[in-house]
Chain A
Amino acid sequence: MAHITGGWNPLGEVFFRKLELYSMDRSWQELAKLEKFKVAAAPYGGPIALVRDESKMTHIPGSTRPTVYIYTSSGREISQFRWNSGKLLDMGWSSSEDLLCIQEDGTVLVYDIFSNFKRNFSLGQEARDTKVLECKIFQGYVGTGLAVLTGSYRFFVINNIEEGHSRKMVEVPDLDSPPSSWCIICRDRHTQILLAKEKRLFLVDYTDVHEQTLTTSSPVNAFIEMAVSFDNRLLALFGDTGLLWTGSSDLQKVYCEFDTKSQKRPKQLAWCGTGAVVGYWENLLLIIGPHKDWISFNMKSEAYLIPEADGLRIVDSATHELLQRVPVVVEEIFNVGSIAPGALLFEASKEFQKKSQKADDYIRMVMAKGDLPLAVDQCIEAAGCEYEPATQRILLKAASFGKCFLTNMSPEKFVNMCKMLRVINSVREYHVGMPLSYEELKRLTLPVLIDRLILRRQWCLAMHISRFLKLPEAEGESRILGHWACYKVLQKHIADETIAQDIKSKLDTAPGIAYSEIAKKASECGRTQLAVKLLEYEPRAAEQVPLLMTMRDQKVALTKAIESGDTDLVYLVLLQMQETMPMGDFLMSLRNQPMAQSLFMQFCREQKPTLLTDLYYQNDDFQEMANCQVADSFKITDFQQKTDKLNGAHDNYTKARNEFAAKATEEQNKLLGYQRRLEDQYKVAYIGKSLHDTMHELISKNMSKLAEQLRKEFKVPDKRFWWLKIDALANSGDWLELERFAKSKKSPIGYEPFVEVCMNHHNKYEANKYIGRVAAENKVKMYIKMGSLEEAADLAFQQRSEDDLNQVMRQCLGNRALTAKIQGMKAQMYSKK
């Protein structure tokens, strides 16, 4: 192996190296004469889009439409499509790897990497009217942003293309021609545009415009190119005199001013990580360090630069290379003559492989200083920085060798690095073509990596990785399978049955699969049958039912909702069905669903009582219909309607073979008739009262005759009538009539009620009239009620009833004389026994 430092180029005190990532696929090599194309490449080793640049074409065949090609970083074609829309101004990639195609009229068309059109959005009326001159895509703090310069020399910015609208930036005064250059700077959750109007610099945002003062060592007429570093902290400006200014992006610090001796505008100006600025002219690549050091490379063919967080990728028609600063650890280990702990350990390991005793010397050197843990760490870290698996391997070997001499070193770092390298190497693989660095993977995170593999339909690799790393199923396997299934349902040439089975068999064991999502996808592309089949597998009714509803499969939806036992879902289906179906059909479909029916009835009871009757009618439930009519008859005030309802109820009760209730409604109707007549005659409200209350009222009002009439008409039993009359008479204070009534014939309920009713009105005088006729066994009780305790005691004594005596005694608390008397009586009774 050639020594690793062979490709290192010193730039001041540090080194830069150019690594070949891929030799491009033949299909790329045949097509990609980059000078003829517009190129857009996504960072983090993303895809590359190409389209023929019409402005660079010598002749424009007006009829033909250009083709957009999408390639992997390794030059494998992913897809291509014919551009059918308006004039394509520029292309770029979003952070979710969607291809954004910006038209001259400000419309942005979004495609996925397989050239499927996803959506479009517009940058607003002004852009449409005045045309877009230039546009730049940037990574803002919330997502991918887009900035355009319109024909009216105004800037419009969208901070996140997934949502939100374009906003106008403050106008720059006197900007009456395109700025000589501009760029976007995102700092502190704030998007600004830096633009150069000749040599004047302006910083613009939504609310303000500030002119910036920048003094350069040599005069400049205009800044004609700018570049912001990946992290938005550094800025490079290129002046028309060939001056390259580098400094902080807030223009407060100057790092270096360098004379490139070229007054020609570079084709591309870009940062390589944060360590150097790279300018690209025809045939020449110039790397300029912060201390005016420089390296130059000759370029064989037209190339394109893609800045990354930790380097710069250079792609041309034949190769794909990475330019980066040699990482510090790598430098420390491999630099000639380095005595860093890592370097010594690496040497030791190498000697050990050769079975040389020098290994021991080196190891001792490291251990003597107590630097061995550091040395191991360095080797591990350096392995992560290397692209060549062989190099990774020898570094890891060295680390593992060093670890043997340490007792308490946690293996975690080492194991993790091994795992990560396996993952990285597998995605760098030519077929996948994602040249990620370890640093980038850390930034991107594993779930996003899985996302990107899913996006590339690398199902198998994604599954292997998530299994290998033991990712939780929800973010690993289940998610991948879910996406796979969504993709699967799009394959229209395969039969529904087969797809459903394939999906089921693959997904059966994975937990937490949202079958409803897959079904939704199937439904969206018109495969309703497949969607229904897939929904069968969905265990969560809450997910199942709404989709079934949108697919107009309401019967199934209803059954599922009922099965789930979740009434809310049943409501959802019922109420939607009710809206969309003819009422008759709707009621019909409830017929065999008692649970849904009851639910709907409960809803109707409060919301639409008329519907309720319809439902009962349909079910031939005459009993309930009659009940409704009875309830109505009490609610309505109109007399005629009241009787009509009752008549209806009567008929329905008869149909329900409930003769008893039928007869009761008849009686109620009859009663109503009487009550109406009474109301008409005496202007007193009777309607709504019960028979008992009506009669009571009549007697109280001295209309016993009418009460008598009702009594006969309704065959009121004697007992009730007596109770009722006694109470009514007492209530109206008609003691005379009460007495007359008592004497009219023998009371069927005894005379106790007479006494009681009098006492309830505190009329002892009247009560006395009846006490004589009270049955003997109740007399004592009645005396007590009257408060005639003396008599009560005498009577009880007479009747020889100890219980009664006790009862009397309990009432005469405080009456000592009587108590004594009763005690005397009791004693007498005992003695007689």
Chain B
Amino acid sequence: MAATSGSPKFPDFSVLKQLSKEHLVHLLESIPEKKDLVIDPDLMRPLDRIAGAQLLKRHGVDKIFKLESNKLEISGDSRMYLARPSVKNVKNIANQIKGDQENGRRKKYKILFVPRKLYFCEMLLEQEGVYGAVELEDFKLDLIALDRDILSLESPGFFRDYFVEGEHSLLHTIATSIVNLQSLFGTIPHVYGLGRCAKMVWDLVNTLKSLQGEPRAPIRNEIGHLFLIDREADLVTPLCTQTTYEGLLDETFNIRSGYCEFGPEVTGTDKSMRLLLNCEDQIFEDIRDRHISHVFAYLSAQAKMVQTGYQKGRELQNIGDVKSFVQTELKDLKQQYKSLTIHIGACERILNLKTKQINFEEQLQTEHSLLEGINLKECYTYIEEQIDRQVPPDKILRLLCLLSLTQNGLPTKDYQTLETHFLQSHGHKHLLTFSNLRKLGMYTEQPSVEVTKMTAADVRTKLTDKALMKKTAFRMLCKKLNLIPKSGEVNLRNPEDMSYVFSGAFTPLTCKLVEQVLAKGGWAGLDDVTKLLPVPTFAEHKAQSVKGRGSNGHHQVAPSEKVVLVYFLGGCTYAETAALRLLGKMKGYQFIFATTAITNGAALIGSINDGKK
């Protein structure tokens, strides 16, 4: 990958993988003899991205198990656990060890906590009476490079933990991950934050750095800007149905740690298949950010090319030509063929779902109307009908939240009617779900109705209250930032506007803010916008000490100035990555994404849905 002067270079994140891998090997080798490895199911896939089974075997891992609540019947003399530090995990581990002890088996145990052990782990182990039998160590795994430009902590629980429960445990990990990035790729001079969590993380980064002391040798910075964005700042975007290929793949098949599992209906065989989706799959790289309506055409064109490729092979006469064909082109063709089969299958499946279920179109239509703030009556009726028809709760909740968010809360009557409807359909356990949604401000009641009951003084305070002003905040934001283009204006084939990721109906707010801040060099000049946001903002700029040390004297923009890291706290969607990649292409930026996890509407709602437990 040669970095031309035009396109800024990607920092090389393979070093992250390399470091994690070395760290893991070191930990594995700390038990030199053969050992069994028991892995927290949440870590299975992330681990796959760092070390394959081969590597584990090479470093003395005998059998691999999933950490569950069952007792383990393994004969090996030593066992290693790899787990997140959660109460559940620690208890399961303790139970397994106790099980061994009851059966008179004495083994060597070591628990690797990812990314670090917490005090309560030790305490619980002690309470369970197995503390003496185990050795504990930290496997400091934070960001995993899912792709050339996507880093993830793979902690999907964070959205709920932090924004609903107010639990801060992961903040330390996030901050550490930023400190680590800076120690590898240099101090990032410009930092922009959006949200309270972002602020706390940044403060923590500064604390951690002050403890660390000055770096031994200052490294040339490869990243120019850092955005820290609370998911809370923009909940509308993840709730909208994505219409890029990658986004839809995620919504339909659930991409986890970059792997996508395709069932027989996609593979065309009787077997399921797991595919790693990243930039190394050339065909995927070409279509991932395309609007779904233009994917199939591309794929069929590609298929034709592959066919002609094979044809060419068949027409060859000369043995030497055939040989070179088999050695070089055929392999590529086969690879392309395999990849094409899957993507065509997946695309078909998505399109089928789209057309077969009239629902899909209607749902999109409703979403778009809500975003635009038109046909509200119809939308309301549609949603009500969906509830009555027992559409799966997560889907309904997604629409309900979108309804509430786009109008900054519902009138009390509608609010209660819809919730009652929902409870009747899916049970009263969802009182808890609605409580969560309220905490997040995703499904709320407009406060104005209370006025009649309030005293005059109350009214005055309420009127100045931000809550009331926010009534139209979303609409104003859309207008001020021009989030909603005029219908039919957006070219979906060769997009030039970020809103194409939602079929031209809406520009992701987060991405628009990033664009504006980069253009204006900060939040200044965006006052009329920031005051409408539900969360505070901040920015910090470091004076740059070393200016272009190059031989040519005249001042020029450092290449790192064009590299922008956007860190989503609480999840990032593929629609957002696609939108920002487009922005990068148009404005000459190179965007890199870091996130606590990749998310989408279903995942987001699913994580706060308490009805299913």
A281 beta carbon closer than 8 Å to chain B: no
A565 to B207, CA, bound (A): 9
Q: Judging by beta carbons under 8 Å apart, are A661 and B168 in contact?
A: no
Q: Is the interface of A mostly helix, strand, loop or mixed?
A: helix
Pick from A511, A540, A605, A630: contact of B428, CB under 8 Å: A630
Of B86, B203, B385, B390, chain A has the most CB atoms within 10 Å of the CB of B390
Interface residues of B in 94-137 (CB under 8 A from A): 116-120, 123-124
A568 beta carbon closer than 8 Å to chain B: yes
Residues of B close to A689: CB separation below 8 A:
427
A719 beta carbon closer than 8 Å to chain B: yes
Pick from B86, B118, B167, B384: contact of A568, CB under 8 Å: B118
Q: Judging by beta carbons under 8 Å apart, are B426 and A603 in contact?
A: no
A719 to B387, CA, bound (A): 11
Q: Judging by beta carbons under 8 Å apart, are B166 and A714 in contact?
A: no
Given A602-B161, A664-B423; A567-B168 close (CB under 8 Å): yes
Q: Judging by beta carbons under 8 Å apart, are B388 and A631 in contact?
A: no
Residues of A close to B431: CB separation below 8 A:
627, 630, 661, 664-665
Q: Judging by beta carbons under 8 Å apart, are A601 and B429 in contact?
A: no
Q: Judging by beta carbons under 8 Å apart, are B123 and A575 in contact?
A: yes
Contact bitstring B426-441, A, C-beta under 8 A = 1, else 0: 1111011001000000
Q: Judging by beta carbons under 8 Å apart, are A660 and B118 in contact?
A: no
Given A627-B432, A690-B426, A723-B388; A602-B610 close (CB under 8 Å): no
Residues of A close to B390: CB separation below 8 A:
692, 727
Q: Judging by beta carbons under 8 Å apart, are B119 and A572 in contact?
A: yes
A581 to B387, CA, bound (A): 50
A719 to B417, CA, bound (A): 14
Residues of B close to A14: CB separation below 8 A:
none
Q: Judging by beta carbons under 8 Å apart, are A567 and B424 in contact?
A: no
- A38 CB to closest chain B CB (Å) equals 46
Q: Judging by beta carbons under 8 Å apart, are A631 and B211 in contact?
A: no
Q: Judging by beta carbons under 8 Å apart, are A667 and B168 in contact?
A: no
A607 beta carbon closer than 8 Å to chain B: yes
Q: Judging by beta carbons under 8 Å apart, are A631 and B610 in contact?
A: yes
Contact bitstring B297-322, A, C-beta under 8 A = 1, else 0: 00000000000000000000000000
Given A594-B166, A719-B385, A723-B389; A567-B171 close (CB under 8 Å): yes
Contact bitstring B357-389, A, C-beta under 8 A = 1, else 0: 000000000000000000000000000110111
Q: Judging by beta carbons under 8 Å apart, are B435 and A564 in contact?
A: no
Q: Judging by beta carbons under 8 Å apart, are B424 and A575 in contact?
A: no
B52 beta carbon closer than 8 Å to chain A: no
Interface residues of B in 153-182 (CB under 8 A from A): 161, 165-169, 171-172, 175
**How many chain A residues touch B (Cβ–Cβ < 8 Å)?**
50
Q: Judging by beta carbons under 8 Å apart, are A720 and B421 in contact?
A: yes
- B181 CB to closest chain A CB (Å) equals 18
A511 to B210, CA, bound (A): 12
Q: Judging by beta carbons under 8 Å apart, are A607 and B388 in contact?
A: no
Residues of A close to B88: CB separation below 8 A:
606
Residues of B close to A540: CB separation below 8 A:
211
- B139 CB to closest chain A CB (Å) equals 15
Residues of A close to B482: CB separation below 8 A:
none
Q: Judging by beta carbons under 8 Å apart, are B87 and A603 in contact?
A: yes
Q: Judging by beta carbons under 8 Å apart, are B416 and A566 in contact?
A: no
B553 beta carbon closer than 8 Å to chain A: no
A667 to B429, CA, bound (A): 12
Contact bitstring A598-615, B, C-beta under 8 A = 1, else 0: 110111011100000000
Interface residues of A in 547-605 (CB under 8 A from B): 564-569, 571-572, 575, 594-595, 598-599, 601-603, 605
A688 to B384, CA, bound (A): 23
Residues of A close to B166: CB separation below 8 A:
594-595, 598
Residues of B close to A571: CB separation below 8 A:
118-120
Pick from A605, A607, A623, A664: contact of B420, CB under 8 Å: A664
B200 beta carbon closer than 8 Å to chain A: yes
Residues of B close to A631: CB separation below 8 A:
429, 432, 610
Residues of B close to A601: CB separation below 8 A:
165, 167
Which of chain A's residues has its CB closest to B388's CB? Answer: A720
B204 beta carbon closer than 8 Å to chain A: yes
A512 beta carbon closer than 8 Å to chain B: yes
A665 to B434, CA, bound (A): 13
Which of chain B's residues has its CB closest to A568's CB? Answer: B118
Residues of A close to B172: CB separation below 8 A:
565-568
Which of chain A's residues has its CB closest to B170's CB? Answer: A567
A474 to B287, CA, bound (A): 55
Pick from B213, B384, B419: contact of A511, CB under 8 Å: B213
Q: Please list the residues of chain B having a beta carbon within 8 angstroms of any beta carbon in chain A.
A: 86-88, 116-120, 123-124, 161, 165-169, 171-172, 175, 200, 203-204, 207, 210-211, 213, 384-385, 387-390, 416, 419-421, 423-429, 431-432, 435, 610
User: What are 16 inter-chain pairs, A to B, with CB distance below 8 A?
Assistant: A565-B172, A565-B204, A575-B123, A594-B166, A595-B168, A599-B167, A627-B431, A627-B432, A630-B431, A630-B432, A631-B610, A664-B428, A691-B424, A693-B427, A720-B424, A723-B389
**A-B contacts besides A598-B168, A667-B423, 18 pairs, CB < 8 Å:** A567-B169, A567-B171, A568-B117, A572-B119, A575-B120, A599-B167, A599-B169, A601-B167, A603-B120, A606-B86, A623-B435, A630-B431, A631-B610, A664-B419, A690-B427, A716-B424, A720-B424, A723-B389
The 9 closest A-B pairs by CB, nearest first: A598-B166, A690-B427, A606-B87, A668-B428, A572-B119, A571-B119, A720-B388, A565-B204, A602-B167
